[in-house]
Structures are given as C-alpha cells and as structure tokens.
C-alpha cells in the first residue's frame, strides 16, 4: 500500500499475487476488515483509558487526484480544490482512530457526501452522537443529522482574525489521520477497492516512529503485533 505497486508486482517473498488478491477480496466481502478495525479500535481506546465505544467523532473529506485507472464514472472535479479525481470522507473518534470511510467522486459537495458517511458511522458506532466538522459541512446537513440520525454536528469555525495556518480544536485529529493515509500511495490506484485499502492502511499502520537511517544491513521486518494476528484469526473463525 505504501509503495503503490500493482497486485502483479507484489514482492517475491509473498505468496502468489492471485492468492493474496483472493484472500483480500474474500475478507472484504465477509466484512473481516470492518470487524478487525472495530476490535482494534476498542483495544487502543482501552489502552488510552477511554470507553470502549466513542461518544464523539470528527468528520472530514479530502479530494485527491485520480490515477489513470480511475474511470470517468467514479471521478469528478472539485472546483474549490481544483482537483480532478475522487473524494474520501472519513469519520474518526477523538483519538483519530478510523470509524468509517466513504469514497465518492471529487465533485460531491461535503454536505451531500457526508450523509452516507454519517449513516455508516452510526451503524459502526451507535453510541457516537456528537460530530465535530468544519464549515464545509454547515447548513442543511446539520438539520438532517439532528432529525434523521439524532446526531449533533458541531461546526468548528476558523477564527475571524486567523492568518495563515493554525491548528483548530478537535479538527486537527482527523487532519492528522488523513495525513497518515496520504502516505499510502495505493489508495487511489484501484477504484473498486479504495475504501478497503484505506481500512487496511489504517489497521496495519504503526504509530509514527522515528525511522532509523538506512544502512547496508537490511532492517528487521516491520513489527506486527501478535494481538492483531490473533484477532484476525478469531474473526475469520467466527
């Protein structure tokens, strides 16, 4: 995902690409990654001293240029950002842990594309009834969420005297998550699996380490927690 290579170009030390892709599609169809994402979120929240399920979250969107593999039927033009491609909507909890993702053409307005995202977030975390958002989500979406989902959307506005970049309360958490996802070049390469790839990129990502300098000696393989493997195995057997 980070390198962005096609399936056929997977490293030789992995199983044949057909096998890897077969498991990827079957796990996605079975909802394995959604369940694993939820299980890991509960674990991380417990380690941080938080309740298992979030009561508040943050929504944001990000328009990204589409690769040449993104067809015209799933891409659009974001006039505000001047980007031709796709727009990914995500909802995180207040720790920045991914709750749900929704990928649409970049031409979708935030207040329209957010509806499907918020419905998916409500299904994934029913206890989450307070959502922080930026000004792009203001307007009729606030009323819709209150009346249909019984969820409060709080708009975090920029200070009137702000000049240049500034960190905004609450919103910086979801901005950080989007920045983490941007490091995975695979995200926009395969239109039909963009949402699944985002879940993989967020599930298997370590916290930002201080990467050591490259040496002539190959580094140890990336550490994957045994808890993650056990959780995945239990999910598949459930």
- The pLDDT-based confidence of 160 (bands split at 50, 70, 90) is confident
Residue 157 neighbours by CB under 8 Å, 6+ apart: 134, 135
Which range is most confident: 8-12, 204-208, 220-224? 8-12
Paired tokens of 129: 């009834």
Quick one: average pLDDT of 165-192?
70
Rounded to two decimals, the pTM is: 0.73
Judged by average pLDDT, the poorest of 81-85, 137-141, 181-185 is 181-185
Spatial separation of the C-alpha atoms in residues 56 and 151, rounded to whole Å: 10
| 40-65: b (≥16 Cβ within 10 Å) or e | bbbeebeeeebeeebebbbbbbbbbe
Domains and CATH numbers, the chain: 7-159+166-206+228-237 (3.30.420.10)
- Contact, 177 vs 92, CB < 8 A? yes
Q: Is 86 helix (H, G, I), strand (E, B) or coil?
A: strand
Percent of the chain residues past pLDDT 70, beyond the cut:
71
Q: Provide DSSP, 41-58.
A: HHHHHHHTT--SS-SEEE
Q: Which residue has the higher pLDDT, 6 or 195?
A: 6
SS3 99: strand
């Amino acid at each position: 995902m980070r390198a962005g290579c096609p399936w056929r170009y997977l490293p030789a030390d992995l199983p044949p690409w057909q096998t890897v892709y077969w498991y990827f599609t079957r796990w996605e169809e079975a909802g394995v990654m959604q369940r694993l994402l939820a299980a890991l979120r509960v674990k991380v929240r417990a380690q941080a001293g938080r309740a298992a399920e979030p009561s508040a979250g943050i929504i944001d969107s990000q328009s990204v240029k589409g690769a040449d593999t993104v067809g015209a039927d799933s891409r659009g033009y974001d006039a505000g950002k001047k980007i031709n491609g796709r727009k990914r909507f995500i909802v995180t909890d207040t720790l920045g842990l991914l709750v749900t993702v929704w990928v649409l053409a970049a031409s979708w307005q935030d207040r329209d594309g957010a509806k499907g995202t918020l419905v998916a977030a409500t299904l994934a975390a029913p206890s989450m009834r307070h959502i922080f958002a930026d000004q792009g989500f203001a307007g009729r979406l606030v009323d819709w969420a209150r009346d249909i989902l019984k969820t409060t959307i709080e708009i975090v506005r920029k200070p009137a005297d702000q000049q240049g970049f500034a960190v905004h309360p609450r919103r910086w958490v979801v901005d950080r998550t989007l920045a983490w996802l941007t490091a995975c070049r695979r995200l926009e390469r395969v239109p039909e699996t963009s949402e699944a790839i985002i879940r993989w990129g967020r599930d298997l990502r370590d916290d930002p380490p201080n990467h050591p300098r490259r040496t002539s000696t190959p580094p140890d393989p990336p550490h994957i927690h045994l808890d993650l493997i056990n959780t995945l195995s239990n999910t598949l057997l459930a």
